[in-house]
A and B are shown apart, each in its own frame.
Chain A
Amino acid sequence: MAKIEESATTEQVTTEQRIITVQDAKIPEGPLAEKWTRYKSSQKLVNPANKRRLDVIVVGTGLAGASAAASLAEMGFNVLNFCIQDSPRRAHSIAAQGGINAAKNYQNDGDSIYRLFYDTIKGGDYRAREANVYRLAEVSNDIIDQCVAQGVPFAREYGGLLDNRSFGGAQVSRTFYAKGQTGQQLLLGAYSALSRQIGKGSVKLFPRYEMMDVVIVDGRARGIIARNLVTGKLERFSAHAVVVGTGGYGNAFFLSTNAMASNGSAAIQMYKKGAYFANPAYAQIHPTCIPVHGDYQSKLTLMSESLRNDGRIWVPKKKEDAEAIRAGKLKPTEIKEEDRDYYLERRYPAFGNLVPRDVASRAAKERCDAGYGVGNTGLAVYLDFSDAIKRLGEDVVRARYGNLFQMYEKIVDDNPYKTPMMIYPAIHYTMGGIWVDYELQTSVKGLFCIGEANFSDHGANRLGASALMQGLADGYFILPYTIQNYLADQIQVPRLSTDAPEFLEALKAVDEKINKLMKIQGERSVDSIHRELGLVMWDFVGMGRTKEGLETALERIKEIRNEFWNKVYIPGKSQDFNVELEKAIRLADFIEIGELMARDALMREESCGGHFREEYQTPDGEALRNDEDFSFASCWKYTGEGKEPELWKEPLEYEFVKRQQRNYKA
């Protein structure tokens, strides 16, 4: 990255020159299928005696963080692992329901590493790096083997072999699952491996700690400032490298399927210390969530994509039927078969109800905007299991989806075995994140970013059951290798004192920010301002974006920032268990992220994957890419408080795959 840093310091650099090259991204040479093998055979390693002398900070204990911390400790590094929850087992990976993809081809249906790679590249609308995605597909099979060895109770066939199901965007069955709780079981597997290392003393765990800043010494990440959430005290930690796996920033929308504490603050901290924030606009709206129902609502609940294996999505064909349903005068079960519009099957005969998420979400919005939506708000469509129950029987449906049906019934107070579920899209996952090179290293030396927090593998849209795959690929099989290429040069570096001036300065800056927040003593609660931000994000930076809307969003976010920094009220003391303060610190960063998302969406004058600019669509309403002008990852570089960030571009060269208009129709 030396070249970039040098050129970035000169004022006269033009946009055309702000290019991140293949060499900057450290993509190995050679044929696609050989890149990872070549990398591993030529990378530098650290010998066992030296590993003991090297410390690595891992922030986050989700699939990526826990698997990385465990694997690094098994290899012999000293690991310091942080999480904001009371236990590493509670990271939000736990809530993933449907499954994890792998190219095992156990079903003999024509799957292969290449096909998983291709589906992922295509699913991401040709906006991801080929080399990274191929490596992801390559290690996918190892993940399944690893999890089985840990005692993850995957679903099995009567013959004792592993079972698979189908997911969106694929024509093969490659998704491994554990009931509707796959994320939970995979996370508990990683948690058990992590626990084993904690028990051995090779990982030191810091639960209820939140990262507040990354500390840079001589241009390298050398530690973090973290806040002990129980005492409220700020503490300093040093290490030879820092790995961040803190998940996505979907909660910028306030209402999302993320957990309440999921946040983008670590990403903003890295960004402000020089790491590029890449493709912030790429956010995934998941088509199957329980619709919004009240203004007191705190979160949106996902209904797994796996339901689309057996559920059929429809709205009434006639507007008057939709109106009668909304008025409570008609029940969905009273609508005759010929009066139902199974719009996904109609528009996309080849993939039907299993089109990718972005396509399914937009199709639902299109029907609701056209006046065919159901539910009392008109912002819902049906997901109907009556055919599946007829075909398979209620018991089989219960065995497959019982926990999801129960969850639906507890929330909505309606029995989905008898009457169709109502669903509507909601923000779910963020493909954008901190830019990383092939080694998962950010543009700051010694600072690595893994899992959902980085930008790397999903392009503009992530396929179902690929988040678990990427988190575990990064944590078990990629980072533990690539980080050694960096650490091999650090063996002579002694453990750094946290009394170094850089640590004291970083701590002071965080302390000042907290004091500033505490002193505002305005009249608005954190949540009330966060809800306001969320509405702006949903209305203008959500499923359908326009130039005008995004410009309005940027204006509105400025006002919200102003409102927040002048009117927020935080009760209590800073050096105490103070949930309102935690939320305020996170909201300050969500406001920055919201602005970056809108800015990136405005810049990207095309539609691709989850980013849909209404000005750019095909005559039949599909996303219209512009490969000529926008075939790049947009990497935003922080230039200082109140200043516009710089746009750097990493061109996406497609050497092995021919880009096409995505087609799920035939």
Chain B
Amino acid sequence: MEKSINLTLKVWRQASPTAKGKFETYSLKNISTDASFLEMMDILNEQLVKEHKEPVAFDHDCREGICGMCSLYINGHPHGPDGEITTCQLHMRNFHDGQTITIEPWRSAAFPVIKDLVVDRGAFDKIIQAGGFVSVNTGGVPDGNAIPIPKDKADEAMDAASCIGCGACVAACKNGSAMLFLSAKVSQLALLPQGKVEAARRAKAMVAKMDELGFGNCTNTGACEAECPKNVSLSNIARLNREFLKAKFKD
């Protein structure tokens, strides 16, 4: 049932990439528990604008958990305390009256802060650009049903492909590793006959790019899987390692 709660927010404010950041404290009254977390942030910003102060910058767009734009490290968890969802789908019924909520940006060497809670995740795009595709041009491809794909393989590929590229896995990892993100793409394409052809080349190119961009190594703590809003499985990392080793043996 809907009710209202009062909150204290400790929000990371940082004017620019090079500026020194710090926490600011704000108090919010009468927040409906049916509001989403980002609607709560909207209310905070409305309040700040009314006081002629600069609102808190944070990334968000679709607000239905699929674009991967929203981030936020909430009380020590990427995307907050509720499981299997992004920040935009987190609702205030997960918090209690009088609670203090600490809100930080993703913290990772590979994701520098742009402003306040906004970070630059361009490194993820660069990993995909290094090999996260099937090398086909538009046109001249065979009929969609020309190559049958076993349903379980297609389903498994779909599960890996459900990654939204939000970066929670990197934010959750003490090493700042992008292995879950990278392995999800490598797995999706390696599982399908269309992507199998260049699987080895893909794995090597993407791993090399990841290392170059300053992401850390994977030490199998599993924090990425636990915090992933889309339940992308750790088994993808095992598959990536297999593909990577196969590629290395071939060299």
Residues on the A chain within 8 Å of B36, using CB: 298, 411
Residues on the B chain within 8 Å of A207, using CB: 122, 125
Q: Is A612 in contact with chain B by the CB < 8 A criterion?
A: no
How many residues of A are counted as interface, with CB atoms below 8 angstroms from the partner's CB atoms?
80
Known A-B contacts A153-B161, A160-B151, A298-B36; A260 and B138 likewise in contact (beta carbons under 8 Å) = no
B residues 29-86 in Cβ contact with A at 8 Å: 32, 34-36, 38-39, 42-43, 46, 48-50, 52-55, 57, 59-69, 82, 84-85
Contact A86 B122 (CB under 8 A): yes
Contact B148 A159 (CB under 8 A): yes
B residues 116-169 in Cβ contact with A at 8 Å: 118, 120-122, 124-125, 128-139, 141-145, 148-151, 154-155, 157-158, 161-162, 164-165
Contact A94 B67 (CB under 8 A): yes
Q: Is B213 in contact with chain A by the CB < 8 A criterion?
A: no
Contact B118 A74 (CB under 8 A): no
- Secondary structure dominating the interface of B: loop
- Docked pose: A378 CA to B22 CA in angstroms: 46
Contact B91 A413 (CB under 8 A): yes
- Docked pose: A188 CA to B124 CA in angstroms: 13
Q: Is B174 in contact with chain A by the CB < 8 A criterion?
A: no
Contact A192 B148 (CB under 8 A): no
Known A-B contacts A151-B188, A185-B161, A297-B39; A145 and B143 likewise in contact (beta carbons under 8 Å) = yes
Q: Is A426 in contact with chain B by the CB < 8 A criterion?
A: no
**Chain B minimum-CB-distance residue to A412:** B34
**Chain A minimum-CB-distance residue to B114:** A230
Contact string against B for A residues 286-312, beta-carbon threshold 8 Å, 1 for contact and 0 otherwise:
000000011011110110000000000
**Stretch binding the partner chain, chosen from A193-201, A335-343, A445-453, A558-566:** A193-201
Contact string against B for A residues 510-542, beta-carbon threshold 8 Å, 1 for contact and 0 otherwise:
000000000000000101100000000000000
Q: Is A628 in contact with chain B by the CB < 8 A criterion?
A: no
Residues on the A chain within 8 Å of B141, using CB: 145-146, 148-149
Q: Is A485 in contact with chain B by the CB < 8 A criterion?
A: no
**Chain A minimum-CB-distance residue to B93:** A413
Known A-B contacts A160-B150, A261-B61; A87 and B136 likewise in contact (beta carbons under 8 Å) = no
Q: Is A234 in contact with chain B by the CB < 8 A criterion?
A: no
Contact B49 A195 (CB under 8 A): no
Contact A153 B39 (CB under 8 A): no
Q: Which of A92, A183, A199, A294 contacts B32 (CB 8 A)?
A: A294
- Docked pose: A3 CA to B223 CA in angstroms: 65
**Chain B minimum-CB-distance residue to A328:** B1
Residues on the B chain within 8 Å of A185, using CB: 158, 161
**Stretch binding the partner chain, chosen from A4-12, A115-123, A569-577, A602-610:** A569-577
Task: Indicate the member of B2, B49, B54, B60 with the most A CB atoms within 10 Å.
Answer: B49
Residues on the B chain within 8 Å of A192, using CB: 128, 132-134
- Docked pose: A312 CA to B210 CA in angstroms: 48
Minimum C-beta distance from A100 to chain B (A): 11
Contact B148 A301 (CB under 8 A): no
Contact A104 B69 (CB under 8 A): no
- Docked pose: A46 CA to B162 CA in angstroms: 39
Q: Is A406 in contact with chain B by the CB < 8 A criterion?
A: yes
Q: Is B5 in contact with chain A by the CB < 8 A criterion?
A: no
Contact string against B for A residues 556-597, beta-carbon threshold 8 Å, 1 for contact and 0 otherwise:
000000000000010110000101100000000000000000
Minimum C-beta distance from A239 to chain B (A): 20
Q: Which of A88, A188, A260 contacts B125 (CB 8 A)?
A: A88
Contact B133 A195 (CB under 8 A): yes
Contact string against B for A residues 156-174, beta-carbon threshold 8 Å, 1 for contact and 0 otherwise:
1111111000000000000
Contact string against B for A residues 254-270, beta-carbon threshold 8 Å, 1 for contact and 0 otherwise:
00000111000000000
Q: Which of B53, B125, B155 contacts A87 (CB 8 A)?
A: B125
Q: Is B11 in contact with chain A by the CB < 8 A criterion?
A: no
Contact B136 A154 (CB under 8 A): no
Contact B42 A298 (CB under 8 A): yes
Minimum C-beta distance from B131 to chain A (A): 8
Task: Indicate the member of A94, A161, A480 with the most B CB atoms within 10 Å.
Answer: A94
Q: Is A487 in contact with chain B by the CB < 8 A criterion?
A: no
Contact B61 A104 (CB under 8 A): no
Contact B192 A156 (CB under 8 A): no
Contact A106 B145 (CB under 8 A): yes
Q: Is B217 in contact with chain A by the CB < 8 A criterion?
A: no
Contact B138 A410 (CB under 8 A): no
Residues on the A chain within 8 Å of B39, using CB: 296-298
- Docked pose: A88 CA to B69 CA in angstroms: 11
- Docked pose: A259 CA to B59 CA in angstroms: 12
Q: Is B233 in contact with chain A by the CB < 8 A criterion?
A: no
Residues on the A chain within 8 Å of B162, using CB: 179, 181, 184
- Docked pose: A525 CA to B55 CA in angstroms: 11
**Chain B minimum-CB-distance residue to A191:** B128
Contact B128 A144 (CB under 8 A): no
Q: Is B178 in contact with chain A by the CB < 8 A criterion?
A: no
Q: Is A617 in contact with chain B by the CB < 8 A criterion?
A: no
Q: Is A441 in contact with chain B by the CB < 8 A criterion?
A: no
Minimum C-beta distance from B34 to chain A (A): 6
Contact B53 A571 (CB under 8 A): yes
Contact B194 A296 (CB under 8 A): no
**Chain B minimum-CB-distance residue to A262:** B61
Q: Is A220 in contact with chain B by the CB < 8 A criterion?
A: no
Residues on the A chain within 8 Å of B38, using CB: 298
**Chain B minimum-CB-distance residue to A74:** B137
Minimum C-beta distance from A527 to chain B (A): 7
- Docked pose: A446 CA to B59 CA in angstroms: 34
Contact B129 A195 (CB under 8 A): yes
Residues on the B chain within 8 Å of A293, using CB: 34
Closest 9 CB pairs of A and B: A160-B148, A192-B133, A199-B129, A149-B141, A153-B158, A153-B157, A148-B144, A71-B138, A259-B61
Query: Can you add 17 more A-B contacts, CB < 8 Å, to A149-B136, A184-B66, A207-B125?
Result: A86-B120, A92-B61, A95-B66, A145-B142, A149-B141, A151-B194, A151-B195, A155-B154, A158-B151, A191-B128, A259-B61, A260-B62, A298-B36, A410-B90, A413-B34, A477-B139, A571-B48
